[in-house]
Amino acid sequence: MDYLSKAKSLVAQMTLEEKATILSGDGWWRTHAVGRIGIPSMSVSDGPHGLRKVEGGGLQTSVPATCFPTASAIASSWDTKLIQEIGIALAEECQANDVHILLGPGINMKRSPLGGRNFEYFSEDPVLAGKMAAAYIQGVQSLGVGTSLKHYAANNQEFERMVTSSNLDERTLREVYLPAFEIAVKEAQPWSVMAAYNPVNHVFATENIWLLQDILRAQWGFSGFVVSDWGAVHDGVAGVKAGLSLEMPGSGNYHQNKVLRAVQDKEIPLSKLDEVIVPLLAVILQAKASHQINATFDAEHHDILARRAAAESIVLLKNAGDLLPLNLDEPKTVAVIGAFAKTPRYQGSGSSQVNPIRISTAYDELRKLAGENVVLSYAAGFTGDGSTTDGLIDAAVQQAEAADVAILFAGLPGNYESEGIDRLSLDLPAGHNRLIESVLSVQPNLAVVLMNGSAVALPWVDRVPAIVEAWLGGQAGGGAMADVLTGRVNPSGKLSETFPVRLEDTPCYPEFPARNREANYGEGIFIGYRHYDARKLEPLFPFGFGLSYTTFSYSNLRVTPAVVTETENISIELTVKNIGKVAGKEVVQLYVREERPTVVRPEKELKAFAKVDLGPDEEKRVMFELHARDFAYYDMLRHGWVVEPGDFEILVGASSRDLRLRQTIEIQRNAPKSLPLTRDSLLKEFKNHPKGKAFYPELVAGFGMGDPDEVDLAVRAFLEDMPIYKICAFSEGRFTEERLLEILTKAH
């Protein structure tokens, strides 16, 4: 069915009052129906890592649903096929619960590891985040359930998030904070995009014409509707003017009456009102037509998928002496320590909090896998808030000392990471660190398993032989941890964010979160690994890092062609081989570096990745294709993407700091490109401009410089950096405005 044409037809039949009404929600989770002409209501529910459908308003307890790993976890799988499977499962649960749109995925960049909502977001890198989001959207929408890509845009802190302006230049926005949205929109076309709470450069996201119209629709070709984050509308009339289709939750008659008056007073043309209603109504019609009556889902199958996803997301950070995996065929005593082993932290707090169908624990799952020769002991070690006591420490030390090996579960309690609040530090709770130090003093064979939603500091990292990052692994995370610890699953996760040594090393320290309602992104394009590369800082664990129980080799890099024009595509091939004794998966990462940039650029940027499954002694050929945009930077004067001619290095490897293969290519320009000359152009910009250079001598004379080669260096620099419009004043009017305009017209 042509839903767009049908929507236009229905909009033509609606009264003004009906149009104003449908622009605001019917309560918290539904759109308004217009029964008179057969427009149905549509249901939306929170996600993104599980369905959170509440029957009433607000944030009440939701229906039971599968709790999958959170975004920071699943992004560490670097597996787009896996997240697409999760999307399909989420859609099945939405269909079974009469939900038409799932509010996710969240793809905001991790500007600081302190961001309270980082567990809901994929990465510090826009390519990884964008590709994971696109696959998620494709999975969900393949079963006729919509998604809502959020939070658009530059929504990077929780403290005073509704009023704090994200202030950043256009290049930073275009290169770091928008590309993930762009990738997801262009590759997957989400049914909706959610406008964020915050202003961007002092214009609220829900009222930002540049973001919602010029970029999202005109440049990226978005065809769905824009919905506000819950409570993000400040001016309903300004929202309609900017292209906002749906205010959530509904505000009754409050904004409806304002919109009505604005239309009646000709402040909003009726055509504009129709323009924002049509895409909303088209999605409502599509959602209702795609809805499956009496749909069901297989909870057991979804739990198995959740366990596999959690296992694929686990990152082995350290494994000195091959302490892991545990050999359960040999007699041994294993001390399981830490309250998280029995009462796991498996998801974050806030609007994404799922009511899980079931929960597995690491202790129970280890006990299931342990043979008759393996004895498990347990000590809690800390309380629910992360604190500890002498008694809890003593009991844990006693169990650890009597065991052959200790597995200690630690991380961040729920009140450390939540929507609405940012973290205060990178530190684990003092009780967790004290427990680890105490156990380490009596048991050298110690593996620490972390449960947290974003990067943490690890002061004992050099002394603990094995460290496993399990993230917030969802309802089946306990089983996934047991699978990895015992070798049933070979860990293949890679960090989707950098782990810094200390907070002072992070990109926006000490100005995060901003506390004066002005978040100034002074670090610019240098967030995440880009920052650590530029500052020559050694991270605790770099972006893209993760170990395996096997070893992989990289060889035979082939990049063709070696010399290209800026519009040609480039093919990259290489061989990856499993040279170990067990099957495993490797995440191959490709970065690009400009060797002699004319503008400040990151040392390297991720441009492609692939996850490869290899048996022992098996090798595969991995292929990538790069395009002009992969070599471009955003030029704020041209307001566009620019590829400078020159040499670029193709870097391939196992992490951002483990790049094993490299080859240089040359990019040649098809035709010279120059900035357009304007009144604000500098005198020196005329010198080498293809059309402007003919007028350079006349302009030099007009400024009274004489022969520039004979002028004092400081004077020449002073005049050459002068905006050209000043020539009229410097010449005391002898060089006329008319002549300047004539030159600019001819040189355009």
Beta bridge partners of 593: 649
Nearest to 664 by CA among 568, 589, 564, 577: 564
d(CA 93, CA 99): 8
Rounded to whole angstroms, how far apart are CA atoms 393 and 382? Answer: 8
Burial class (CB in 10 A: 0-12, 13-18, 19+), 251: middle
The C-alpha atoms of residue 85 and residue 91 are separated, in whole angstroms, by: 10
**Other Cβ atoms within 10 Å of 370 Cβ, number:** 17
* Sign of the alpha-carbon torsion through 13, 18, 19, 24: negative
- Contact 606/596 with Cβ under 8 angstroms? no
- Secondary structure element (H or E) that encloses residue 147, with its range: strand 146-152
How many whole angstroms separate alpha carbon 86 and alpha carbon 137?
10
Cβ-in-10-Å burial (0-12, 13-18, 19+) of 94 comes to buried
Q: Locate 312 and state its tokens.
A: 């694929």
Q: Which of 80, 133, 55, 104 is nearest to 352 (CA)?
A: 104
Query: Residue 116 in contact with residue 418, Cβ under 8 Å?
Result: yes
Q: Does residue 146 sit in helix, strand or coil?
A: strand
List 46, 229, 303, 483, catalytic entry: 229
* List of residues 6+ apart from 372 with CB closer than 8 A: none
Closest CA to 435 of 485, 480, 478, 398: 398
**DSSP string over 183-246:** HHHHHH--SEEEEPSSEETTEEGGG-HIIIIIIIIIIT---SEEEE-TT--S-HHHHHHHT--B
**Has 394 been annotated as catalytic?**
no
Which residue has 């405005």 as its token pair? 737
* Cα separation, 32 vs 18, whole angstroms: 9
Strands 199-200 and 203-204, sheet pairing: antiparallel
Contact yes or no for 105/96 (Cβ under 8 A): no
Please give the backbone phi and psi of residue 532, each rounded to the nearest 5 degrees, phi first. Answer: -65, -35
Strands 619-626 and 570-578: what pairing?
antiparallel
What end-to-end distance do the CA atoms of the chain give, in Å?
A: 48
Residue 744: its H or E element? helix 737-747
Torsion of CA 181, 182, 188, 191, to 10 degrees: 60
Task: Tell me whether residue 725 is exposed, middle or buried, using C-beta atoms within 10 angstroms of its C-beta: 0 to 12, 13 to 18, 19 or more.
Answer: middle
- Residue type at position 103: L
DSSP SS3 for 745 = helix
| Active-site amino acid positions | 229
